[in-house]
Amino acid sequence: MDTQFCAEFFNVLNHPNFQGPFDTNTIDQPGALLHTIGDARDIQFALKVIF
């Protein structure tokens, strides 16, 4: 029997990716970088058991 463990980290340092200032969805303050795009930190684990 064999067991494998896997861990994957995405955006591990959690760097913000700001949305562009000329997007029509950001009407709050013209030219301001207020919103981020993409997901925040993501971690996934997997365990595989082979008999």
Closest CA to 47 of 6, 2, 1: 6
Q: Tell me: the pLDDT tens digits for 5-34?
A: 999 998 888 777 777 666 555 555 666 666
Greater confidence (39 vs 30) lies with 39
**pLDDT at residue 27, as a whole number:** 57
| pLDDT over threshold 80, residue 50 | yes
Ranges 2-6, 24-28, 41-45: which has the least confidence: 24-28
